[in-house]
Chains A and B, each alone.
Chain A
C-alpha cells in the first residue's frame, strides 16, 4: 500500500514562528503536493513539485515556501506564521497523471 506520512497530526505555534511541516511518501512518486483545507473554501493548492529540487506555485503560495531535496520528502515552510494560516494542511503524492494518495493531515493552530 502507498503510504504518505505527515510528521504531525496536531501543531500549535506562536505568531511569528518559523514552522516546518514534513511529508514523506514511500512509493517513488514524482509528484508531491501541499494543500490547505478550510471550511467553505475546499482544498486549495499551495505548492507542488514534479521532481527533486523542482517546485511550482499553486493558487495560494503567499507566506509559504517548500523544499524537496529528496524524492520521497516534501517540506512546507511557514516563514513567519500568522493566525490566518491556522488550517488543516494536507500532503499528497502521485505518479505523473496517476492516482493521488494523501497523508492524514496536520491541523495547525497559530496563536
Chain B
C-alpha cells in the first residue's frame, strides 16, 4: 500500500522567508501528485497538480516538483506571508488518492 510522509510536521518561519515542504512516497507507481492547502475547519483547496508526464508546476509564489524515481515531491513557497499559514497536504494518485498527514505552517508577521 502506498505510504506518504510529509516532513516537517510543523514549521514556523518569519514573514518573507522562502521555504520548502517535503513529501515522500513509497511506491513510485503514482500517476499524478497534487498539493493542497487546508485552513482550520475547512475543506482542502487544490494548489498545484503535477501530472504524470510533468516534473514541476508553478503558480504565483508556489512551485512544486516531482521526482518519481526517488519518490519525492517538494513544494517551494517564495517570500512567505502570514496568509500562507495553513496545513499543506500532498497526495499521490494511483487508483485512488493517497494523502500525507500534512505540514502545519505558521508565518509570523
B3–chain A nearest beta-carbon distance, Å = 11
| Chain B residue contacts of A6, Cβ below 8 A | 43
Knowing A90-B44, A102-B44, A105-B41, say if A43 contacts B32 (CB, 8 Å): no
Nearest A residue to B94 via CB reads A97
B43, B44, B49 pick with most chain A CB within 10 angstroms: B43
B102–chain A nearest beta-carbon distance, Å = 7
Name the prevailing secondary structure of the A interface residues: strand
B96–chain A nearest beta-carbon distance, Å = 6
Contact with A along B62-90 (1 / 0, CB 8 A): 00000000000000000000000000010
B64–chain A nearest beta-carbon distance, Å = 13
Interface positions of B (Cβ within 8 A of A)? 31-32, 34, 36, 41-46, 49, 52, 89, 91, 93, 96-97, 99-102
Interface positions of A (Cβ within 8 A of B)? 4, 6, 33, 40-43, 45, 48, 58, 88, 90, 92, 94, 97-105, 107
